[in-house]
């Protein structure tokens, strides 16, 4: 057990654990079993082994731990911020910013893709008891820095869409590749091969993250790029079509109308009228 002013790290708690006092927030790491949130479903229903929950005291009062549950919990009380400033002077760690970042006043937040956090908890349990106070401080710093630098939006998308961080990074890479090569068309197979993803998984993950199928998203980006040129330059429509990968004027006009609700000619005319 790590005990600092305003911070309690309780090791190997079980399903009988009950919080004392009123912590500002808590980090709970699941080692065995699972947790359900009685205040509503956690994303994917459970906190599983190897995952960490960032939550408020309200959430803690509504957690149901399985009979075989074992885990660690770190509780942060009112004086925790002052302890953090003293112990980790030189590191910019703001507990209020961490709480706000994960928006835990609405629902608990599951961290499920961070290997460094899993590693910290694994090493902590392997540390001899007489070194745990000292090592616990270093472990706490690692966890807080990981939370500070974490992209909470990406974590949420991964959990809500049930995809891994690696898959998330790959589909973001696919999106960037599409936008950087707006004048070229690629098949699903070509993209899947380039980013080392099975085609079906790539299509599912891309739609889950961005809300549109790959081709629909790519066409929308091409038409947005074409619309910008129609507004800002005097190039001919066929020339603009070529810059977004269309050599056929009628196919470009059809695609543009599907996305923008009017033909390229109508769009340019309306924009110029509005700008006059």
Tell me the pLDDT tens digit for each residue of 29-52.
999 998 887 765 554 446 778 888
Cα gap 37→165, rounded to integer Å: 24
| Domains present along the chain, CATH in parentheses | 2-152 (2.60.120), 163-276 (1.10.10.60)
CA nearest to 49, candidates 62, 26, 66: 66
In the predicted model, is pLDDT for residue 156 greater than 90? no
* Residue pair 78/99 in contact by the 8 Å Cβ criterion: no
Mean pLDDT in the chain? 86
pLDDT tens readout for residues 146-155: 888 887 776 6
pLDDT for res 50: 85
Query: 84: which 2 tokens?
Result: 């953090």
Q: pLDDT by residue (tens digit) across 13-22?
A: 999 998 888 8
The pLDDT of residue 28: 93
pLDDT score, position 18: 87
Q: Give residue 62's pLDDT.
A: 81
Percent of the chain with pLDDT over 90: 43
At residue 137 the predicted structure's pLDDT band, cuts being 50, 70 and 90, is confident
pLDDT of residue 157: 67
| pLDDT at 82 (0 to 100) | 92
* Cα-based distances in Å from 260 to 1, 56, 145, 254: 61, 45, 44, 10
Greater pLDDT, 228 or 152? 228
Predicted TM-score (pTM) above 0.95? no
- Residue 125 burial by Cβ neighbours in a 10 Å radius (0-12, 13-18, 19+): exposed
| pLDDT value at residue 166 | 77
Question: In which band, very low, low, confident or very high, does the pLDDT at 205 lie, cut at 50, 70 and 90?
Answer: confident
Average pLDDT over residues 259-269: 92
Is the per-residue pLDDT at 180 higher than 50?
yes
Write 238-247 long-range contacts (CB < 8 A, 24+): 240/264, 242/183, 243/182, 243/183, 244/182, 244/183, 245/182, 245/183, 245/184, 245/185, 246/222
pLDDT of residue 90: 85
Contact by Cβ (8 Å): 207, 269: no
State the pLDDT confidence band at 158, using cuts at 50, 70 and 90. Answer: low
In whole angstroms, how far apart are CA 248 and each of 83, 222, 234, 241, 255? 67, 14, 19, 8, 11
Is 25 within 8 Å of 99 (Cβ atoms)? yes
Residue 235, pLDDT above cutoff 80:
yes
Average pLDDT over residues 78-103: 89
Give the pLDDT confidence of 101-124 residue by residue, as tens digits: 888 877 788 886 567 788 888 887
Q: Give percent of the chain above pLDDT 70.
A: 90
């Amino acid at each position: 057990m790590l005990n600092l002013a305003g911070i309690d790290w309780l090791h190997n708690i079980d399903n009988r654990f009950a919080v004392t006092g009123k912590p500002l927030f808590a980090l709970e790491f699941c080692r065995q079993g699972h947790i359900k949130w009685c205040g509503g479903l956690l994303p994917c229903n459970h906190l599983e082994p190897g995952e960490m929950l960032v939550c408020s005291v309200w959430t803690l009062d509504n957690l149901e731990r399985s009979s075989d549950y074992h885990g660690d919990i770190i509780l942060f009380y009112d004086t925790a911020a002052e302890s953090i400033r003293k112990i980790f002077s030189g590191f910019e760690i703001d507990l209020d910013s961490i709480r706000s970042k994960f928006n835990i006043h609405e629902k608990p937040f599951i961290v499920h893709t961070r290997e460094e956090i899993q590693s910290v908890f694994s090493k902590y349990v392997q540390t001899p008891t007489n070194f745990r106070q000292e090592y616990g401080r270093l472990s706490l710093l690692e966890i807080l820095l990981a939370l500070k630098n974490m992209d909470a939006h990406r974590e949420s998308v991964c959990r809500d869409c049930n995809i891994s961080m690696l898959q998330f990074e790959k589909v973001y890479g696919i999106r960037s590749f599409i936008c950087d090569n707006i004048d070229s068309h690629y098949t699903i197979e070509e993209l899947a091969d380039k980013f080392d993803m099975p085609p079906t998984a790539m299509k599912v993950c891309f739609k889950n993250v961005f809300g549109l199928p790959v081709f629909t998203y790519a066409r929308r980006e091409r038409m947005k790029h074409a619309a910008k040129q129609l507004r800002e330059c005097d190039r001919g429509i066929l020339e603009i079509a070529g810059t977004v990968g269309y050599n056929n004027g009628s196919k470009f006009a059809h695609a543009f109308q599907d996305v923008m609700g009017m033909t390229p000619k109508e769009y340019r005319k309306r924009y110029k009228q509005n700008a006059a």
